[in-house]
Amino acid sequence: MANKIIQTARFGEVSVDEDRIINFIEPILGFSDSARYVILDHAEDSPFKWLQSADDPELAFVVTNPKLFDIDYEFTLSDETAEHLALHSADDALVMTIVNIPQEDPSKMTTNLLGPIVVNQASRKALQVVLHDSGYSTKTRLIPDEVLQQQPKGASSVSSPASADKGE
């Protein structure tokens, strides 16, 4: 099993099993120079992963599974899309959505449910699917305001004393 060295701006040189490289059969919209990506873990227990381009060291996305945030998220792929991805069983599909993290307040992160990434884990073909007419948004909050506001003041000092400064 051959390993491949991938240059990345954020993580330096990363060595990955060639089998872990996924190939976008169409580019992620707006990034036509990049077709090969790897999914990198961020940290243990983190709900996020990195979708790192193997073709462009600078290009990476934070991705997540919206279900980890109790977001009701279901869609049906069109027959054409499933065929395009050579996807014959739903069990082979890995779905992730791209995350936007605003600089001003990272807790107000959103995810793009309208354009999920679907990976066929059997063939490692991937595609950013556009769910026309689904009613999903490109900017769904991962933690809604109501939930954020439930946080009692000073709760951060209980859970993580070292990083309590949230930088208002």
Partner 1 sequence: MLVLTRKTGQKIIIANEIEVTILETKGDSVKIGIEAPKQITIYREEIFEEIKKSNRLATQDAETARLNKAIEAVNLIKTSPPAKEG
Which CB, 6 or 114, lies closer to partner 1?
114
Question: Which run of H or E residues covers position 80?
Answer: helix 79-84
Applying CB under 8 A, the residues found at the interface with partner 1 are 10, 25-26, 28-31, 42-43, 46-48, 50, 59-62, 80-81, 83-84, 98-103, 106-107, 109, 112, 114-115, 128, 130, 132, 138-139, 142-143, 147-148, 150-152, 155-156, 158-160, 163, 166-167
| Residue 89 beta carbon to partner 1: minimum distance, rounded to whole angstroms | 18
| Residue 95 beta carbon to partner 1: minimum distance, rounded to whole angstroms | 16
Query: Is-contact 100 72, C-beta < 8 A?
Result: no
- Paired tokens of 34: 């990049």
Nearest by Cα to 57 from 80, 81, 33 = 33
Which CB, 18 or 88, lies closer to partner 1?
88
Which CB, 2 or 41, lies closer to partner 1?
41
HSE (side-chain half, CA atoms, 13 Å) at 52:
25
How many residues comprise the chain?
168
The three-point CA angle 130-134-137 to 5° equals 75
| Residue 1 beta carbon to partner 1: minimum distance, rounded to whole angstroms | 29
Which CB, 90 or 148, lies closer to partner 1?
148
Query: Is-contact 55 36, C-beta < 8 A?
Result: yes
Which CB, 15 or 160, lies closer to partner 1?
160
Residues 6+ apart with CB under 8 A from 126: 22, 23, 24, 25, 37, 85, 117, 118, 119, 120
Cα separation, 63 vs 47, whole angstroms: 9
